[in-house]
């Protein structure tokens, strides 16, 4: 049907396109003719208005299947319950994203790419449910450079930063273009900027996956990441002082 949406075809054209024989394709063509999905004019088959209406609704289904299949292991193995359903329904927006994986021997190799992308960004928003020792200094440097930065930390991460990096936290909070929010808990971590989106997930509520990041650079992925951030801002409390 998608083939005939583009152009009318003979039976020979259809067989060549799908590399099938007449006995293989003829029953399918007969079924579509009987259900008014396609029609035959002289030697050519073409799609009907009813067929066009059906594939209009069928294409999003194929797109989301392709989106999942492109990174099937990532979606299959990770905990997704902290991604709101409306954004899971819009998973097609992540169709152009790819999984960046590190070997266990080079588990922080992708961090270099992450830092490079962050340094190129002019606006940064992120959610962190894990603590990485290098991040306080890194975030403070962003604040000193007056890069607009909004962060959401889980309660446990916030307490660790407050107790062990108090001065750095004050520098961040007192910077002119920074925001800090705290949320009870969330089982994912991501950053979205004006140039890229990167998300890492948990295998289950108790086990974080430090090796696999889903990364995208297209406008649809950036909007999806920004919408996810806005979702968690609504669930967080803003911190202005400590």
What local confidence, expressed as pLDDT, does residue 241 receive?
85
Measured distance CA(108)–CA(119) in Å, rounded: 17
What local confidence, expressed as pLDDT, does residue 162 receive?
95
The predicted model scores a pTM of: 0.83
CATH 3.30.870.10 occupies which residues in the chain?
A: 79-239
What local confidence, expressed as pLDDT, does residue 116 receive?
85
pLDDT tens for 57-69 read 999 899 999 999 9
What local confidence, expressed as pLDDT, does residue 108 receive?
55
What local confidence, expressed as pLDDT, does residue 73 receive?
94
CATH number of 2-65: 1.10.10.10
Q: Which CATH architecture has domain 79-239?
A: 2-Layer Sandwich (3.30)
Residues found in the chain: 242
Distances (CA, A) of 210 to 40, 67, 103, 149, 190: 56, 22, 10, 23, 12
Structure tokens at 228: 């996810």
Torsion of CA 96, 102, 103, 104, to 10 degrees: -130
Which regions of the chain are under pLDDT 50? none
Residue 218 DSSP class? S
What local confidence, expressed as pLDDT, does residue 132 receive?
86
Cβ count near 113 (within 10 Å): 14
3-state secondary structure of 204: strand
What local confidence, expressed as pLDDT, does residue 115 receive?
80
CATH 1.10.10.10 occupies which residues in the chain?
A: 2-65
What local confidence, expressed as pLDDT, does residue 242 receive?
82
pLDDT tens for 206-217 read 999 988 999 999
What local confidence, expressed as pLDDT, does residue 106 receive?
55
């Amino acid at each position: 049907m998608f083939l005939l949406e583009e152009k009318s075809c003979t039976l020979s054209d259809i067989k060549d396109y799908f590399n099938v024989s007449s006995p293989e394709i003829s029953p399918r063509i007969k079924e579509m003719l009987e259900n008014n999905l396609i029609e035959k004019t002289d030697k050519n088959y073409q799609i009907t208005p009813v067929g066009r209406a059906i594939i209009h609704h069928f294409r999003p289904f194929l797109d989301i299947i392709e989106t999942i299949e492109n990174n099937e292991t990532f979606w299959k193995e990770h905990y997704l319950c902290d991604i709101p359903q409306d954004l899971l329904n819009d998973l097609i927006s992540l169709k152009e994203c790819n999984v960046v994986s590190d070997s266990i021997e080079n588990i922080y190799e992708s961090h270099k790419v992450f830092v490079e992308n962050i340094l190129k960004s002019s606006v940064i928003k992120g959610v962190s449910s894990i603590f990485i020792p290098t991040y306080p200094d890194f975030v403070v440097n962003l604040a000193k450079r007056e890069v607009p930065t909004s962060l959401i930390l889980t309660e446990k991460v916030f307490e660790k930063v407050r107790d062990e990096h108090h001065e750095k936290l004050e520098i961040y909070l007192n910077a002119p273009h920074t925001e800090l929010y705290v949320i009870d808990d969330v089982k994912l971590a991501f950053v979205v900027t004006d140039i890229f989106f990167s998300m890492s997930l948990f295998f289950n509520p108790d086990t974080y996956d430090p090796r696999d990041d889903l990364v995208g650079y297209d406008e649809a992925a950036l909007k999806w990441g920004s919408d996810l951030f806005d979702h968690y801002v609504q669930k967080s409390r803003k911190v202005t002082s400590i």
